Amino acid sequence: MSSTAVTHERDTHADSHAHDAHEHKPGFFARWVFTTNHKDIGTLYLIFAILFGLVGGAFSGLIRWELAEPGLQVFMKGSMLDSMGLFNLSNPDHAKHAFNSVVTAHAVIMIFFMVMPATMGGFANWFVPIMIGSPDMAFPRLNNISFWLLVAAAVLLVTSIFTPSGPGGEHGFAGGWTMYPPMSTHTGSPGPAMDLVILALHIAGASSILGSINFITTIFNMRAPGMTLHRMPLFAWAILVTAFMLLLSLPVLAGAITMLLTDRNFGTSFFDPTGGGDPIMFQHLFWFFGHPEVYILILPGFGIVSHIVSTFSRKPVFGYLAMAYAMMAIGFVGFIVWAHHMFTVGMSFDLRAYFTLATMVIAVPTGVKVFSWIATMWGGSVWFTVPMQWAIGFIFLFTVGGVTGVVLSNAAVDYSLQDTYYVVAHFHYVLSLGAVFSIFAGFYYWFEKMFGVKYNKWLGGAHFWIMFVGVNLVFFPQHFLGLQGMPRRYVDYPEGFAYWNMVSSIGYAITAVGVVVFLIMCLEAAIVRRKGEANPWGEGATTLEWTLSSPPPYHQFSELPVIKEDDEHH
């Protein structure tokens, strides 16, 4: 096999480079603060994502704790949460506001400070340059500032949680991550917390735009000789499409929240009907960003899962070109379906009909991807490692979330389900069980490569099964709640919703155990330090990162690899 021969040749190359590169690492402060090394920046992003994942996860814990039973138990004076002193629960108004602000912060943190840093920041920084045979990113210093801008944004957001917002001085913006005016203007949130959220999103957006420019430039200009776009690994394709989506959608968000900022502080009335503005215009602008954003969250996961499925089936990805073009199709269609989030705002029949039909179209390229993953495994010699379990879990759970998306695309059914727990269940199936499972899949797939040590397989497997049971128990019953009409973002609910809410909260407790197992897994690997191999996954792992040592040399590919036509590096 010619490709194996090439791989071996490259192995020796990598080793020889590794020797002279090892010694050039700067000291701790210079290495981790001023770093321009894509792998170190990737690691920083991953640590950041894990930390904020824990914060966002803790917030969802507060939500599920409060919603376990009807009546107020947690967000009230004298509760256990009150005794922790984190939130101002001194009177019922402050307490109910605090719940809404926790719901808001949970969403913003999970989207902007957990999933995006993990996929676009962590894995993409780590593996796009290596997979395309490049020594580093095109703009290494820009890469550094992308990360630290995100830290600044996170500081602003966390500050906002403890800043006055409501008319009675309640803390934290409590209008949901969608920030619809007038809830987000002076009418709903007069205090400075909302301004901090706006600035946090501005800076997080700038960080993402700079990162996207970096990825696009890197992928277009720094591919190794012979690596044409049509030979490029699917993860790099996924990041390329995602970067373009970020680049085109974030400026729209920036524009919308800038108008919100001037409405709040400088007397404009873009979204104020008494001054000729329209609150619905904000929703159009927001969702023009917001809908692509959900594909931004999931597309990198598509790339990761493609590699894992191919590696552990010991088969090339089925329908490589169709997979790449399906992602482009999803990226494109993702921009023209935004108002399916707005079926109840009062749009004309034609608009509702168009957005129903356009939204359904997304099911086609998404179906192509799901079936292609299955076809990749079909006839393979499938090895059920920990990352493969996560990937298979992803495929199934993403399918479940995807089909409920088809349900919600129908405006006439959406009248019953809009803003209910059915929607909550749907988007958590595609994001919490889709995107997050793909992140864990990637984490276990590249763990040894990134950190140079092996994880404990038993702990990894336990992590998967506990999480799998837990998250399904959290979110599957929420479909039933939605069909019964339970609205989302409610601090309390009628007794008719009690049973499934309790089941959902029990599911959260199980999921939390899974997260603890994950942390133990990380700790155990860091303490025991079983030495990692260059390629623990065998012949199925064909992309370039497996030709390097684990961890890769500080500067890889001092001599560029050459990709030949019969290579299988995707």
**Residue 420 binding other proteins, by CB under 8 A:** yes
Residue 504 host element (H or E): helix 498-528
Three-state DSSP at 487 gives strand
Give the contact letters, 148-177, x = binds to other proteins (CB under 8 A), - = no: ------------------x---x---xxx-
> Among residues 339, 181, 340, which one has the least CA distance to residue 273?
181
**Active site includes 207?**
yes
Tell me the C-alpha to C-alpha distance, in Å, between residue 412 and each of 287, 290, 353, 354: 20, 22, 10, 13
Specify the amino acid at residue 186. Answer: H
**Active site includes 165?**
no
**Residue 403 binding other proteins, by CB under 8 A:** yes
Site for other proteins in 202-241 (CB under 8 A): none
Catalytic residue among 10, 38, 39, 106: 106
Q: How far is the CB of 161 from other proteins (least distance, A)?
A: 16
Minimum CB distance to other proteins smaller for 472 or for 549? 472
**Residue 371 binding other proteins, by CB under 8 A:** yes
**Residue 541 binding other proteins, by CB under 8 A:** no
Which one among 36, 493, 551, 558 touches other proteins, defined by CB under 8 A? 493
**Two tokens at 33?**
């603060």
**Active site includes 445?**
no
Backbone angles phi, psi at 171, to 5 degrees: -90, 145
**Residue 5 binding other proteins, by CB under 8 A:** no
Q: How far apart are CA 526 and CA 387, in angstroms?
A: 19
Q: How far is the CB of 5 from other proteins (least distance, A)?
A: 17
Catalytic residue among 40, 66, 82, 136: 136
**Residue 396 binding other proteins, by CB under 8 A:** yes
Q: Is the peptide bond before 233 cis (omega within 30 degrees of 0)?
A: no
Which one among 150, 260, 377, 467 touches other proteins, defined by CB under 8 A? 377
Torsional sign, CA 80, 82, 85, 87: positive
By CB under 8 A, the count of residues binding other proteins is 104
Helix axes 498-528, 436-451, angle to 10 degrees: 10
Instruction: Measure the CA angle with vertex 216, ends 233 and 107; round to 5°.
Output: 90
Which one among 48, 123, 180, 437 touches other proteins, defined by CB under 8 A? 180
Q: How far apart are CA 119 and CA 122, in angstroms?
A: 6
**Residue 142 binding other proteins, by CB under 8 A:** no
**Active site includes 136?**
yes
**Active site includes 291?**
yes
**Residue 21 binding other proteins, by CB under 8 A:** no
Site for other proteins in 64-93 (CB under 8 A): 70-71, 93
Q: Among 46-54, 255-263, 382-390, 444-452, which window interacts with other proteins (CB under 8 A)? A: 382-390
Catalytic residue among 40, 293, 414, 568: 293
Which one among 199, 368, 425, 548 touches other proteins, defined by CB under 8 A? 368
**Two tokens at 512?**
């939390």
> Among residues 376, 239, 279, which one has the least CA distance to residue 319?
376
**Active site includes 340?**
yes
The DSSP annotation for 420-484 comes to: BHHHHHHHHHHIIIIIHHHHHHHHHHHHHHHHSBPPPHHHHHHHHHHHHHHHHHHHHHHHHHHHT
Contact between 12 and 561 (Cβ < 8 Å): no
Which one among 2, 3, 155, 378 touches other proteins, defined by CB under 8 A? 378
Q: How far apart are the first and last CA of the chain?
A: 16
**Residue 188 binding other proteins, by CB under 8 A:** yes
Catalytic residue among 65, 126, 287, 295: 295
**Active site includes 94?**
no
Q: How far apart are CA 440 and CA 461, in angstroms?
A: 11
Contact between 28 and 545 (Cβ < 8 Å): no
Minimum CB distance to other proteins smaller for 40 or for 263? 263
**Active site includes 366?**
yes
- In sequence order, the β-bridge partners of residue 453 are 531
Catalytic residue among 17, 171, 223, 341: 341
**Residue 11 binding other proteins, by CB under 8 A:** no
For residue 8, the tally of other CB atoms under 10 A from its CB is 10
**Active site includes 356?**
no
Site for other proteins in 98-137 (CB under 8 A): 100
Site for other proteins in 268-307 (CB under 8 A): 273-274, 278-280
Q: Among 16-24, 365-373, 526-534, 547-555, which window interacts with other proteins (CB under 8 A)? A: 365-373
Give the contact letters, 433-452, x = binds to other proteins (CB under 8 A), - = no: --------------------
**Active site includes 306?**
yes
Q: Please state the length of the chain.
A: 570
Torsional sign, CA 390, 214, 218, 24: negative
Q: How far apart are CA 448 and CA 456, in angstroms?
A: 11
Q: Among 37-45, 127-135, 141-149, 488-496, which window interacts with other proteins (CB under 8 A)? A: 488-496
Q: How far apart are CA 136 and CA 125, in angstroms?
A: 9
**Residue 1 binding other proteins, by CB under 8 A:** no
**Active site includes 293?**
yes
Q: Among 21-29, 53-61, 227-235, 497-505, which window interacts with other proteins (CB under 8 A)? A: 497-505
**Two tokens at 347?**
């749009």
Which residues are identified as catalytic? 106, 136, 177, 207-208, 291, 293, 295, 306, 340-341, 366, 369, 488
